[in-house]
Amino acid sequence: MMENEIIEQIIKTAHHLYDRDMVIGKAGNISILDSTGEYIYITASGTNFKELTYDDIIKVKLDDLSYTSTNDLVPSMETSLHVGVYQKRSDVKSVVHVHSPYATGFAFSKKRLCQQEGFGEITGEYIAEVNYYPPGSKKLAEHASDALKNEDAVILKDHGVITVGKDIEEATLLCEYIEEIAKTQYISHVLNL
């Protein structure tokens, strides 16, 4: 994929996630690994997915996190987490992180989100979780990228959800799937009260 194609895919996905009510405020970040495997393209810190444009995507070097920015923008605060995933999973080409309302509701509750039919094989009872570490911290990057070695979707406790895929479509679809099963399980919990 050419640089402009990668950037266009990220912009399209950001707008799509915004339209699906998957994004709250300016939280959330998306990245794609380029075909050389040396660089990622990632949304800048504090960007608004509704109006994401070309200038909001920053090219970051995988091995030293260096980047050049033509404006004052800096890469997403979760860049180390994204990079950690690419370093630990050679099959992953895209990472999506959002604070979608229902999945994040589970993240802030004591209820576990159950695995549910509809996306790949069911490998366990629950969607994996990572304990709370502050957003943007080295600890979060380490623990979440470790959890994503064996999982394609992880709930970040008291924070949000992160998914990975062989391409951005797959990572995005998985993110939407997690939100949908969270919605279904929320409704069933309420109806069973």
Annotated catalytic residues are: 78
Determine the 3-state secondary structure of 49 from DSSP: helix
Least CB distance from residue 61 to Zn ion, whole Å? 23
Distance (Å, rounded) from C-alpha 107 to C-alpha 45? 22
Least CB distance from residue 22 to Zn ion, whole Å? 12
Choose the stretch contacting Zn ion; rule: CB under 5 A; options: 102-110, 135-143, 144-152, 171-179: 135-143
Give me the amino acid identity at 130: V
Ordered alpha helix ranges (H), the chain: 3-19, 79-88, 101-107, 138-147, 168-191
Indicate the residue among 6 and 156 with the shorter CB distance to Zn ion.
156
- Does residue 160 touch Zn ion according to CB under 5 A? yes
Least CB distance from residue 191 to Zn ion, whole Å? 30
Look-up of token digits 């997403």: 76
Indicate the residue among 105 and 184 with the shorter CB distance to Zn ion.
105
- Which two structure tokens, joined as six digits, stand for 13? 């996905």
Q: What are the residues binding Zn ion (CB under 5 A)?
A: 135, 160
